[in-house]
Each structure stands twice: as structure tokens, then as C-alpha cells.
Homo-oligomer: A and B are copies of this chain.
Amino acid sequence: MSASSIDLAVIPGDGIGPEVIAEAVKVLEKAVAAEGVELKQTHYKLGAEHWLETGETLPDEVLADLRTRDAILFGAVGAAPGDTRIPSGIIEREMLLKLRFSLDHYVNLRPSRLYGTVGSPLANPGTIDFIVVREGTEGPYVGNGGSLRAGTPHEVATEVSLNTAHGVERVVRDAFRRASARERKHVTLVHKHNVLVYAGHLWKRTVEAVAAEFPEVTHDYLHVDAATIFMVTDPSRFDVIVTDNLFGDILTDLAAAITGGIGLAASGNINMDRTAPSMFEPVHGSAPDIAGQGKADPTAAILSAALLLDHLGFTAASRRIEAAVVADVEKRDGGARSTSAIGDAIAAGL
């Protein structure tokens, strides 16, 4: 990467992925052009459709090629539910999770913010402005399971959650760093250490140890079940949540729901050591039911592009996208606009 160009990998994916990514690229191009930065794009055909055509999920050469880029903008992948031609989970694991794991995206960053007038399902949402720092490279997501006597009455199926001091410490430290730069400077660890004792205690001990390096940051702990209660009764209490891969998956969908839906929820899969490109994607899926109809909200993809710019150091351009999104979102009255109309409006607002 040079300051005057960005070498971007684009993976539009399936369903509404290509539609929302087209708008994100539109906004991204305009935002960086204003700073004299060229956006060099390489598009990759990957996902369920591509698998149906070729049987490929993520070939090694493609992964190697992706490694040479500055960052990845990702749409969404996944076949229609009930499409029995695709073994369930194969695209998720052999493509999306393979990217996150291979490129060591250990910080899965998911900000949650309620914008003025956007509809929260909560009667009294209050001010919602927190980030979830979800671990992205271990935990129950490692694919370490198996089944014995599958399909018989004696079947035993296991799933192993793997947690390492290395993996937990780096993401916990990232959460404290981010908290330290925020106004409220508060970290909440979410786990279930009264049941998942070994993993839970590794997380707790690590938080205690890292907290000592950040005397300006306060911290507390919530069991994951209690955290979901506060998410709907008192979401204002959260500033920075740090949690494992699975709890983070669950909490961030709930967080998206209370802040107006996954049409707005952005995420970054970040390699903070920059040993490989980071990947930015909307939290939503491929929504095959509305694909190709111009009905998808590209806002989450556009906000993901803003996170991408921020990660690459184009802070001002990132802020301008965010501001344009906020301005657009605050004007929304529930009326339907097409995917490209929303993209155009946000681009115009830059």
C-alpha cells in the first residue's frame, strides 16, 4: 500500500452480496478520490454459486493472491436455506472461516450504535454506543469435533473449544486499547466461567492481567446469559465487550437487532499485527429471498468500508463516510428506497 493507492480485494459473494458491495465500492471510491487516492480493485468469484459451478471453496492460489492485497471487502456468502445441493456449512467453514483463520483475523470488531431515529425494537433504548471485540481465530469455531457411530442410536458427537493464552491475550489487549481511546473506558468480559471453567478462567485471568496495564480502564464481568438480558434492558451500560468467538457471534446479532437491524451492522475481521490483509464485511448474510431485487440495505456494507479505511489509516475518509451514513440514516422515515438509491444518497452526502 502506498498513501496514494489502495490495492483492494473484493469478494462480492452470493445473494445480496454483489448488490450491497457495489454500493460500498461506489462510496469508497468517491471518499478516497477526494483525497487523491486511487482504488485498485481485484474481484474474486467465491461463494455458494461459485462452488456449484466449480466445486471450489477457497483454492490455495486464490488465498495466496488475496494475501498480497491491502485489504478485503467482503459481501456475504451462503446458499438459499433448503438448497440441498450444497452440504450445509461448507461455504461458511471452507471459505469464510478459512479466510478468518488463515489470515489471522483475531479481532472481529463489531460496533453497535443506535442512530437517532432508526427503529430499535426496544421501547426505551436510551443511548446505545458500544463495540464488541469478538475473538476470531479460536474457541468453539476451530472445527475440532467429530462423531462416533454417526447415524446409529449410539452416536456420540463432540465439539471442542480450543483457547490459548496467546489467542486470548492479544484480543483482550486489543479490547483494552480500544477502551482506553473511548470516552467511558470500560471493558466488559462476557463468558460463562461458572460452567465452562477452563476456558472461562483463562479469559478471566487474562483480563485481570491485562487490566493492570491499563489503570485508566475499568472492567467488569457478565455471564453470557445475563449479558443478553442487559442487552435488552440496559444496553447503555456497555462500552467495550470482549468475548469469545461463539458468544461474540450471538451477542453481535442481538446487538444489531436492538440498534435497528442487521441492515446497519458493520464488521471488521482484523489482523492487528498486519501480517495479512484484514477483511471487512456486513454482519448480515446473503439473504437469498430478496437477492437481485434492489431491496437490500447497503448501509452495513458501506459502514464496513468505513472500518476498512480506518484500518488502513485513511481516518479522515473513514469519518466522512460515517458522517454521511449517519446523516442519511437520521433522515429515514421507514419509506422504501432501492439499494442503489441508498448508496447514491450516502455517496452524495460525502
- List residues of A whose CB falls within 8 A of some B CB: 81, 88-89, 92-93, 97, 120-124, 140-141, 143, 145-147, 149-166, 169, 192-202, 204-205, 221, 224-226, 228-229, 231-233, 246, 249-250, 252-254, 256-258, 261-262
A333 to nearest B CB, angstroms? 17
Known contacts A122-B123, A228-B250: A199-B257 contact under CB 8 Å: no
Q: Which residues of B contact A231 (CB under 8 A)?
A: 254
Q: Which residues of B contact A122 (CB under 8 A)?
A: 121-123, 232
The listed residue (B151, B153, B199, B229) touching A256 by CB distance below 8 A is B229
Known contacts A122-B123, A155-B165, A225-B250: A195-B88 contact under CB 8 Å: no
A86 to nearest B CB, angstroms? 11
A219 to nearest B CB, angstroms? 13
CB pair B194 A88 closer than 8 Å:
yes
Q: Which residues of B contact A154 (CB under 8 A)?
A: 164-166
Q: Oligomeric state, in number of copies?
A: 2
Bound complex: CA A284 to CA B55 (Å): 49
* 24 contacts across the A-B interface (CB closer than 8 A): A88-B193, A92-B194, A97-B195, A121-B123, A140-B140, A140-B161, A145-B197, A145-B199, A147-B201, A152-B165, A153-B169, A156-B165, A158-B160, A160-B161, A192-B246, A195-B249, A224-B250, A225-B249, A225-B253, A229-B256, A229-B257, A229-B262, A231-B254, A254-B254
Q: Which residues of B contact A161 (CB under 8 A)?
A: 140, 145, 158-161
Q: Which residues of B contact A92 (CB under 8 A)?
A: 194-195
Bound complex: CA A88 to CA B195 (Å): 9
A85 to nearest B CB, angstroms? 16
Q: Which residues of B contact A149 (CB under 8 A)?
A: 165
Known contacts A165-B155, A246-B192: A233-B199 contact under CB 8 Å: no
Bound complex: CA A147 to CA B206 (Å): 14
Question: What residue of chain B has the Cβ atom nearest to residue A202's Cβ?
Answer: B157
Question: What residue of chain B has the Cβ atom nearest to residue A119's Cβ?
Answer: B123
CB pair A164 B156 closer than 8 Å:
yes
A199 to nearest B CB, angstroms? 5
CB pair A157 B153 closer than 8 Å:
no
Bound complex: CA A197 to CA B249 (Å): 16
Q: Which residues of B contact A202 (CB under 8 A)?
A: 147, 150, 155, 157
Question: What residue of chain B has the Cβ atom nearest to residue A169's Cβ?
Answer: B153
Bound complex: CA A161 to CA B192 (Å): 14
CB pair B197 A93 closer than 8 Å:
yes
